[in-house]
Amino acid sequence: MKRLVVVESPTKARTIRNFLPRDGYQIEASMGHIRDLPASAKEIPADVKGEDWARLGVKIDDGFEPLYVVPSRKKDVVKQLRDALAEADELYIATDEDREGESIGWHLVEVLKPDIPVRRMVFHEITNEAIQRALTETRDIDVDLVEAQETRRILDRLVGYTISPLLWRKIKPKLSAGRVQSVAVRVLVMRERERVTFVPSEYWDLKAQMSKAGLGFESEMTHLGGVRLASGRDFDPDTGRLKDGLTEGEDVLLMDEIQATALAEQLPAETWRVADVKTRDRTKSPYAPFITSTLQQEANRKLGLSSSRTMSIAQKLYENGHITYMRTDSTNLSKEAIQGARTAVVDRYGSDYLNDDVREYSSAKSAQEAHEAIRPAGSEMKTRKDLGLSGMAGRLYDLIWKRTVATQMAEAKIRYTNVYFDAGDPEDAARFRASGKEIMFPGFFRAYVEGSDDPEADLEDRERPLPSFEVGETSEPSGDGAPDSVFSIDDLEPIGHETKPPSRYTEATLVKKLEEEGIGRPSTYASIIDTIQKRGYVRKEGSALVPTFTAFATNNLMEKQFERLVDTHFTAEMEDALDDIARGDQEPNPYLKSFFSGDEGIEPRVEKGMDDIDPKQISEISFPKQWGGYVVRVGKYGPYVEGPLEDGTDDTATASLPEDLAPGDTTKERLKDILEEANKGDQVLGIHHEADMPVILKSGPYGPYIQLGDDDQEGKPKRVSLPPGVEPKDVDFDLGTRIIDLPRVLGEHPETGKEIDAAIGRYGPYVRHKKKGKYTYASLKDSDNVLDVGLERALELIEEKEAKNKPQRVLGDHPETGDPVELWKGRYGPYVKHKGTNASLKDEQTIEDLTMEEAIELLDAKSKKKKKA
């Protein structure tokens, strides 16, 4: 009997082939979904092109029936699967066990129309035992799960395809709305609003450097005359002001710099007494094993990985049989996993570190994506070294291994000690507190510390022991004469603090927020974050996600016209509805009808918005208290400021805003400067001493620049943009001449003898070198100045750039041609190169992990497309 097993990816297929006999099983990959709603007009079948619903791909008036098509890029895959099916006696659908995998399997059956038995096999790890068990415990395709996924897909299509045209019409082209994406944007915008309206407050305290018996420690001032000093927790995180209900001078004391400095000079001469010593012991339990969201958060914190990169690496680890399924919101561990973890604890750390009882974790009510947490596959708990894993894949696996093993380790036992000192007159004493911490037993800290990549080193950092103290002890003056049995005050420093605006979200904290609010599901977090960046709603600044002015304008429209849709509670209720559909407790069609065409449905709201929304008004972003009379709007060509000029007239002017200006960092002064500079008009700086033409400072739609000569002269005048960091107000004749004289020759390349010069181009400042008739352009870094960069630095940059013009990896020689198969980083992403063929890597594939087999599959598919063309 011949059995055909279909999975999603070639890597997964290759791994499963290791556990099934070749003569009885054929394993093929569907390469993800083989059909979907039409992605463009050309994919819509000719017989329905004229239908009103064709653009949506959903028959709104016919029970929301979706129009599914097999895209052209998948037709070869379908043919291969049909050929394989013709020789099979049974079909096994072995796609992932979540809703997406169930949906892929259902589409396969619908398209292939097999006339042989169909069995659904599910597993959450790719091990021999799991595969063999799955073959004997097959079931039918779960129609409820399929309907839940289909409903989600239709909802996303209805939101995106119905609301996006409204955004194009009222704000700017190429924007998009999304059922979850728009809520994520709103979360980011609300945080940025808080940053704009935040008013910092200043407060002071004192820090003492103290010592006893040769051990130094710190203490901080907490009270003065019995009144507690204000600390960060006393200020409203949204406004920066004291929280409501706190009275300054009675409840808390706001000490200023003068008072703090005076105390710093006075108190060292006073007698200090130990007023109290308090000790408490606490235990800390290990964290639950990873689910998708916590893995993304911790990989971002510890490894600096984006959500999408984390999932890409985890996908490879799963498909290669190293970890269990990585899209899950269940914290459950199987019995074999628990036993494997407990054995690993004893083997590696000793029985003292094993928790007495088996520790189990309960999942959230909504957990449905898989049956188990993310953990090392199998029961042996093999380490990264055992599996021969290296690079980022090895580091991520190690993170998963440690978190899993830690769940069965003993609690950490920690002793906290606080010593309180009173300085000066007892009636008006200044109280200081020294805090100590000792780890009495590290427990699970030996394996895993959240946020730390090195548990052993972190254990040392966490220890803050204090000397022993008795109530009533008094200080001695600092210096060499102080005996070891008493404590001394070695230094006393006034410390100023300023309340900080709420931190921007990072990928990790945004995922945590979405999870807390019940928005999205494990499989969606990475794609949400990727989408809002690609659409121009967010840009990354370090690890922070910074919303743009476009995000503000779009959110204005969404809040005005689709308030429910961007409400976190409503979005969470939608997820609950999808869960109900997945359980068979709710029918999809009534829900879709209410969502789309009900009284508050998106269809009537879009129609009303097309008539009622004023584009100029909806795109306006203003904060009168912070920005005065200046407003920012988003137009067809991006954000611009509008406001009065200080020229004695009542005229209103506009000016484009820099792309990297964040709303939360915008001030009235910054907007004023941008507006004034952009509307100054042309400034003649002087006459060029060689060209005998005027050097003019001008402003254009892409920013300020220097021009040599007038606009009406014969031929196009030479123009050079201002270097980064140079403001128009700083440009005089000398600087303007240096800029317009670019490019400037830095010297000769020591190997070729060719000149190296520096200039400013379309994408910013650069240095270049011509070799074998071809230029190498190397962009300058932020720390480089195009006007004074030297030859040595230019050579470094060019050498670095030329190194990038080499393949990132060479997989080896092609088995048929003998020519090298190389992996490169390109402008549009990574790709594999062989002779004259370049093939882009798929979303889940990476340069570090791609195998020769996968590379050849990509190259063959690309070659077939070329031949077809």
Tell me which residues are annotated as active site.
325
Strand partners, 821: 812
Tokens of 483: 């005996």
β 837-840/829-834 pair status = antiparallel
Strand partners, 4: 26, 91
Residue 563 CA to residue 89 CA, distance in Å, equals: 54
Element (H, E) at 149: helix 143-170
Residue 754 CA to residue 660 CA, distance in Å, equals: 36
Q: Which burial class, exposed, middle or buried, applies to 487 when counting CB atoms under 10 A from its CB (0-12, 13-18, 19+)?
A: buried
Q: The tokens 């990549």 sit on which residue?
A: 453
Residue 445 CA to residue 442 CA, distance in Å, equals: 5
Residue 308 CA to residue 292 CA, distance in Å, equals: 11
Q: Where are the beta strands (DSSP E) in 355-486?
A: 412-423, 430-441
The phi, psi pair for 122, rounded to 5°, reads -130, 145
Angle at which helices 507-517 and 292-303 cross, to 10°: 160
The answer to whether 758 and 789 are in contact (CB under 8 A) is yes
The answer to whether 319 and 126 are in contact (CB under 8 A) is yes
Torsion of CA 259, 265, 269, 275, to 10 degrees: 40
The phi, psi pair for 52, rounded to 5°, reads -60, -30
Element (H, E) at 52: none
Q: Which burial class, exposed, middle or buried, applies to 762 when counting CB atoms under 10 A from its CB (0-12, 13-18, 19+)?
A: exposed
Residue 820's nearest CA partner among 828, 809, 830, 810 is 810
Report cis status (omega within 30 of 0) of the bond before 426.
no
Radius of gyration for the alpha carbons in the chain, expressed in angstroms and rounded: 33
C-beta pairs of 797-802 under 8 Å, 24+ apart in sequence:
797/767, 798/749, 798/756, 798/767, 798/768, 798/769, 801/776, 801/777, 802/776
The phi, psi pair for 639, rounded to 5°, reads -75, 145
